[in-house]
Homo-oligomer: A and B are copies of this chain.
């Protein structure tokens, strides 16, 4: 990385070229005073940012096309009105109903003004007219941050971490240099091949990690842990010789589940990574990641295991995150550009499309996908620019779910019946995804007067839900419409009540009222769910509903399989025997993964046409192999296989 080779230029040299190109494209009345770079983006400084920020202006789009890069407009610092004056002007322009006060404005030294608001739509104005006026009248470029209706500590923390990070600018320049300054490894020639090393999550679930590399680029796709495994078996195989930290260009995270990002902070302990390797993910993934990673540290500590990193390292990850929305192509190295597509799995989950420039090859790594729309999310997007090769998850590659609609109806009936008898419904769930799906059903029942009692949310579920309310654009379109245009966010329904601590929890358990309790953990491996279970398991009026997969060896699995006496760990570290008298049910319709039929349909319906090479991962060996064979038999002209961990396969 130190020597300059064939194609390498300095950022100054690149600047000059960009400036020339910009001047060719711009109309004569718009002046760009300077060019700079910020991570994968080209930043154009101008005296008249307002001439770029009209919603109907296609100038930014035209520039982006001409430069083949993402473009961001910034005001020439000389043209800024003083913050104090600007503040007044801005508050006058924004309508009062947007609820923006003085302390919701944050003036950055980039010439941007961050506006926090619960009603971003009102701040922006029709066709962007408010934003345009702010920019024209103050010189400052507004950036609007949605304040979620349910306040989220996580969202506040991640925003603060990034906004207050002094080293971020230098970091982003390092990233720009790698992307813009030309080839460093392939000596000015093209990459003749692209390969993927299967470092984890192949023929298994857990520790997903793909190392995608060309002659020029080294990129990690996902970086998970297997929370059920011990020692180094819990982590991907990072000791293969092709992977070296000081060679890494970027890390891309598909979604926030620990089996996809749980090892990430470990890398950020190392200066060589922290100083120049960005994490690309969607904005919701960044926030959910923070929540789940800090929680993982606590869980390990409780178990008496030493976490491989600290909360400080998690914060470093957040500071090094560059978020990208769905369908925004972004160059991440001199020969690779990525685009995220909705994966339908959890909030912000993405399939990554990688365009390998030199070979004109299009590779997609699905991450975890659900091709079927749910109450919470749209189904996985299958319309790409083009797909040549693909890694497809196969969690349920050899099995079938029940009908999602029928299963939901069965769920509703179980809940109704239990509450009617005066019982309590206990639903163990992961904090992210499944819980919100169930909440939407419960809210629907509540609205239709089918729910006789409140829904208590315990563990991390409430905070995870708060994060959902910060990103309505990432939700199912109908739900989005309800939230944004009907001002009716189901997550804020009065039926939901967060559990405020152990006294509150005790009171809920001792109360005789019928109620639904949603609590972590999802497999009864810890968390408040165990306290509820101890209290409620002896009453046949109550019902325990499993809504997610119960892994081999977990307490959840034992109870699901009908055990009547099970060992229960107590808070003091002992184990007592618990008699299971309550009703136990399993509802399979809330899965965040496609089953074999859904996945096959997804692959066959890929637009513009199915890939010619498919590799399966993220499933037991049986599932990965079955699904790979199934595809070969049912999709025309497809080559497919199920690689093992530690294999390295070719894309081009």
Contacts and interface: CB of A to CB of B under 8 A. Distances in A.
A649 B650 contact: no
A598 interface: no
A244 interface: yes
Contact of A242 (B215, B237, B240, B650): B240
Interface stretch (A66-74, A84-92, A471-479, A640-648): A640-648
Count of this chain's copies in the oligomeric assembly: 2
A241 B247 contact: yes
B193 A218 contact: no
B242 A241 contact: yes
Given A649-B647, A650-B646, A213 B241 contact: yes
Interface size class of A (residues with CB under 8 A): 20 to 34
A386 interface: no
A239 interface: yes
A647 B644 contact: no
Interface string A478-515: 00000000000000000000000000000000000000
A130 interface: no
A436 interface: no
Contacts of A244: 241
Contacts of A76: none
Contacts of A218: 241
B240 A646 contact: no
A195 interface: yes
Interface in A605-644: 644
A81 B203 CA distance: 68
A197 interface: yes
B646 A193 contact: yes
Nearest to A648: B648
Contacts of A647: 195, 647-650
A213 B197 CA distance: 14
Nearest to A195: B646
A240 B244 CA distance: 12
Contacts of A247: 241
Contacts of A243: 241
B239 A242 contact: no
A214 to B, nearest CB: 10
Contacts of A237: 193
A215 B644 CA distance: 17
A206 to B, nearest CB: 16
Interface in A112-158: none
Nearest to A215: B239
A218 to B, nearest CB: 7
Interface string A224-249: 00000000000001011111100100
A241 B194 CA distance: 11
A240 B195 contact: yes
Nearest to A244: B241
20 contacts: A193-B237, A193-B646, A195-B240, A195-B646, A195-B647, A195-B648, A215-B239, A218-B241, A240-B242, A241-B241, A241-B242, A241-B244, A242-B242, A242-B648, A644-B650, A646-B650, A647-B647, A647-B648, A647-B649, A648-B648
Given A240-B242, A242-B242, 16 more contacts: A193-B237, A193-B646, A195-B240, A195-B647, A195-B648, A197-B648, A215-B239, A241-B242, A241-B243, A241-B244, A644-B650, A646-B648, A646-B650, A647-B647, A647-B649, A647-B650
